[in-house]
Amino acid sequence: MTDAPRPDEQPQQPDEQLGRDEEHVGHQGQGEAGAHASAEPGGSDEFDVQVPDDASELTDGPTGGATDGGATPEGDLAASYLEDLRRLQAEYVNYKRRVDRDRALATDAGVRSVLEALIPALDDIHLAREHGDLEGTPFERISDKLESALGRFGVERLGEPGVAFDPAVHEALMHVEAELPEGAESTTVVAVLQPGWKVGDRVVRPARVSVADPH
């Protein structure tokens, strides 16, 4: 004889029974999956991956930039900048040479202008010295200082008795008969009438001299 259900006992709801069945099935599935994973060689921590020795094999083609034997835009730009730099350097060197040359020419031109203005006074000093009017006087020291100052600017006096006549630096005003130094074989300067002057390699005025020929 079957006991009748008590009033205080409630029958199980269908939803609760369904939840228990799903939980049971989930535990059973996890157990089977774990057993299947443990049965595979090496477990789940090992993978059979082939890595090439050359890392470049990982890419199928160039990733950008220059190809073998090709030029990049960056390389072309650098070459252009280098060419511009070389051209500017060459222009600067030429400019510096030109400036230095022009500066030297301007300096020489200035010195020549001053010398040309002083030549009459220098001629008077030469005549006074030839006549002995400077010896032992204060003006002798002044004339020496003046010629020394001109020498510091590249001014050189031309004309000395006894040297061979050179038409590049001498102007013969007189041709005389005179005894020449021993060994003279060409026309020789015997007297300086007015000294000549030059600045650097340029003659401002040739020395005016009298000359004699050897016998």
Total length of the chain: 215
Q: What is the pLDDT of residues 16-41, one digit of tens each?
A: 444 455 454 444 444 444 444 444 44
Give the per-residue pLDDT at 70: 58
**pLDDT above 60: residue 69:** no
Please report where in the chains the tokens 């000093």 appear, as a residue.
125
Chain segment 158-182, per-residue pLDDT in tens: 999 989 999 999 999 999 988 887 7
Report whether pLDDT(51) > 80.
no
Q: How far apart are CA 162 and CA 179, in angstroms?
A: 10
pTM: 0.55
Tokens of 37: 């994973």
- Exposure string for 89-120, b = 16+ CB within 10 A, e = fewer: eeeeeeeeeeeeeeeeeeebeebbeebeebee
Q: Span 108-116, mean pLDDT?
A: 93
Superfamily of domain 78-212: Head domain of nucleotide exchange factor GrpE (2.30.22.10)
Beta partners for residue 192, in sequence order: 209
